[in-house]
Amino acid sequence: MTHIPPTVTTLKLISVDKEPWILPTTVTTLDLSGCLLHSDFTFQGLPSHITTVLLVNLAYAFRTAQQWLTLIHSIPATVTYVNLQGNPLFRGRTPSARDQLLRALQPVNPQGRLDLRHTGEEDWVRAALPLIHGVEQKIIPNLDCAYHIATFLGAHSQTVFQRVAHRKRHAPPLAPQNSEQPTPRP
């Protein structure tokens, strides 16, 4: 990589076999978007002049939360912006698993360093149930008002919002806990 002109500040790589990183000091942005990285890939030894890492759409490289955490935690603190858009970090996970993953990312996300948009964690989806509860408790006047609030969080379809409300209203009751099992009647 010694033949890269000094005017190049962004380097787009379509594959990365291994580290160490031998990059010109003029390169400040490393774009690995769409790159097929091995699941054991890390950013160990990334030069401190790299301040932006683009990791958009690495969908099939990392499957487990632990693989994502290992990759993200390996990015040096000298990188001030990491774009993870389009990756399924939160997709298909339970709310508690999402919360756990978000907590694990907090130490490496000072001042919003990680761009987590379009990773399966939509703000309005998180807000939907509390907003619907607010309508039920008469804190929020009606579903239209709740949806209007959700649009500020990124909701784009009132139909989807109404479906969430409908499912919530028609969800089967939770099964009693073991200690709350009803006693059979003779």
What distance in Å separates the CA atoms of residue 184 and residue 55, rounded to the nearest whole number?
Answer: 56
Residue 110: per-residue pLDDT: 86
Instruction: Note the pLDDT tens digit of each residue in 89-123.
Output: 888 787 788 888 888 999 999 888 999 888 876 65
pLDDT at position 113 is 93
CA torsion angle for 105, 107, 110, 115 (degrees, to 10)? -10
Distance (Å, rounded) from C-alpha 135 to C-alpha 87? 33
pLDDT, mean of residues 66-94? 90
Q: Are 37 and 61 in contact (CB under 8 A)?
A: yes
Taking the C-alpha atoms of residue 86 and residue 147, their distance in angstroms, rounded to an integer, is 25
Mean pLDDT of 55-83: 89
Domain chopping of the chain, boundaries: 10-115, 123-171
Tokens of 19: 């580290």
Average pLDDT over residues 133-149: 78
Supply the pLDDT for residue 51: 96
H helices within 64-118, ranges in order? 65-73, 95-105
AA identity, residue 108: V
Q: Mean pLDDT, the chain, as a whole number?
A: 79
- Is pLDDT above 60 for 182? no
Lookup: tokens for 184: 């059979």
pTM for the model: 0.67
End-to-end CA distance of the chain: 81
For 116-151, give one letter per residue: b (16+ CB within 10 A) or e: bebbebbebbebbeebbebbeeeebeebeebbeebe
